[in-house]
A and B are shown apart, each in its own frame.
Chain A
Amino acid sequence: MGIWMPLGSGISNAAGRNKPRINAVTRRAAAILDANSALLLLVKEQRCEQSYKELFVYYSPRICTFLRQRGADHRTAQDIAQEVMVKIWRKADQFDPTRAKASTWIFTITRNQYIDNIRRTKRYEVDADDPLLVQALPVSPEELMMRQCDQTDIAVAMKSLPSQQEEVLTLSYVQGKKQREIAEELAIPLNTVKSRLRLGIERLRKAMENR
């Protein structure tokens, strides 16, 4: 279970879940969602196969390439990508567009499948039902949706990053390398990796704040 799951009242109330009717909040969300999140919402709300197919054609090759960059061979990458796509279909009702964009949600599923299949290690995540969970101060659904919109700006800001920062961010995220490994690969000190990563992330965050 991931931390994108609704902790309080999300848009997925029990009444709406089984009906192919899209409620008002969802409709408002869809109006400002990126295309892929809107498609995923259609899969969630209506089990729409055409929307799922569009997501499949878009994400399946990307996931494959992502895994190959992380060192998986072609066959393994295809198998894992396939498993991820099946999970997207099966778990679509857990997708909450007020908490995460489709790309974020699919990134976390891919990451976890990669950990299961390749690193063969167990990963622990926050349990939304944990009685010890310390709740964040409440944020309105509207504000959460606005935050999701920020990601389009991150994508734009990524392109404006100095190439050294972009390189370190890409090695860290796309290739899943530890900071020590990045330092070795680029033959630069660990502290330089840390500072480039930090500067890159700070810069992206500023881009979001200054929207």
Chain B
Amino acid sequence: MAQFHVSQEWLTAYATGAVGEAASALIAAHLTLCPECRTEVTELENLGGVLLDAINPDKTDAEQQFGRSISANARPQSPDTIVKDQRLFTGALAKIAPRPLLEFANRHCGSVDLESLPWRPYAPGVKRAVLSNGRSDLIARFVKAQPGSRFPHHDHGSDEMTIVLQGAYRDHTAVYSVGDVQSIGEDDPHQPVIEGDEVCVAFVISEKPPIPTNFIARLAQRVIG
């Protein structure tokens, strides 16, 4: 059971529809693993319903619109069937990543195979696969780190959110394991170290890439990409 959760701010943004694509994938992944936060989102959605009922509507001729709509669209129809591509849900990534992340990975790099994500070296024992959503609102990446490896000490140019999918890591705040979410604010440097003897896989989103505090690491990042 997850010990560290998506913040109230992000849960509210998710329930109201104010989050971008990558954040919604990460939050839905945490919700899959965390019944407490699911309940929280349901309560926030209940509140949305109450507010919808409380609206004092503009004057419209709804009866007349109804007459038009029911002739055009609203005759009984068979319910929409949701066809899921089961191929999405097999493979190594499917064993550790909730379905929202599989769909996100498939959409942005056409792969749900852990090995064929666009991995690039980031630090000794650490690889990253960057998945852009094609717009600048958020960037997302998978990170894979060998047991015992450590990240470069780095700062963050913007808020960053991480969900652990396999294994665990530790920084100066806590140990984060499967299902846990760490939210890091701007100007909040840290250095994650892999905990335990399992490869750690995580999914990370941020508005900008993390900025390494160490000048050499920053140069290295520019060279390695």
Interface set of A (CB-CB < 8 Å, partner B): 1, 3-4, 36, 47, 49, 52-53, 56-57, 59-66, 68-69, 78, 82, 85-86, 89-91, 93-94, 99-108, 110-112, 114-115, 119, 121-127, 129-137, 150-151, 154-155, 158, 169-170, 172-174, 176-179, 194, 197-198, 201, 204-205
Question: B28's contact among A61, A111, A124, by CB below 8 Å, is which?
Answer: A124
- CB pair B66 A155 closer than 8 Å: no
A60-B67 Cα distance, complex, nearest whole Å? 13
Is B214 in the interface zone, CB < 8 Å from A?
A: no
Given contacts A61-B60, A130-B99, A178-B18, contact A106 B8 (CB under 8 A): no
- CB pair A133 B21 closer than 8 Å: no
Q: What residues of chain A lie closer than 8 Å to B48, measured between beta carbons?
A: 104, 107-108, 111, 173
Is B216 in the interface zone, CB < 8 Å from A?
A: no
A4-B46 Cα distance, complex, nearest whole Å? 11
- CB pair A126 B38 closer than 8 Å: yes
9 examples of A-B residue contacts, CB within 8 angstroms: A4-B45, A36-B53, A60-B60, A66-B52, A85-B69, A100-B45, A103-B52, A121-B24, A127-B32
Given contacts A110-B52, A132-B33, A179-B9, contact A3 B58 (CB under 8 A): no
- CB pair A134 B57 closer than 8 Å: no
A151-B70 Cα distance, complex, nearest whole Å? 30
A36-B50 Cα distance, complex, nearest whole Å? 12
Interface set of B (CB-CB < 8 Å, partner A): 1, 8-9, 12-13, 16-21, 24-25, 27-29, 31-35, 38-39, 41-60, 62-63, 65-66, 69-70, 73-74, 76-77, 79-80, 82, 84, 89, 96-100, 103-104, 107, 137, 179
- CB pair A134 B16 closer than 8 Å: no
Q: What residues of chain B lie closer than 8 Å to A57, measured between beta carbons?
A: 62-63, 66
- CB pair A172 B16 closer than 8 Å: yes
- CB pair A3 B31 closer than 8 Å: yes
Residue of B nearest to A4 (CB): B42
- CB pair A194 B57 closer than 8 Å: no
Question: A56's contact among B17, B24, B66, B104, by CB below 8 Å, is which?
Answer: B66
Q: What residues of chain B lie closer than 8 Å to A60, measured between beta carbons?
A: 60, 62, 65-66
A36-B53 Cα distance, complex, nearest whole Å? 10
Given contacts A62-B57, A133-B32, 14 further A-B contacts (CB under 8 A): A3-B41, A47-B76, A61-B60, A62-B55, A64-B57, A65-B55, A103-B52, A123-B24, A126-B100, A127-B32, A127-B99, A135-B35, A136-B35, A179-B9
Q: What residues of chain B lie closer than 8 Å to A119, measured between beta carbons?
A: 17
- CB pair A173 B47 closer than 8 Å: yes
A109-B28 Cα distance, complex, nearest whole Å? 17
- CB pair B52 A106 closer than 8 Å: yes
- CB pair A65 B57 closer than 8 Å: yes
Q: What residues of chain A lie closer than 8 Å to B89, measured between beta carbons?
A: 131
- CB pair B38 A62 closer than 8 Å: no
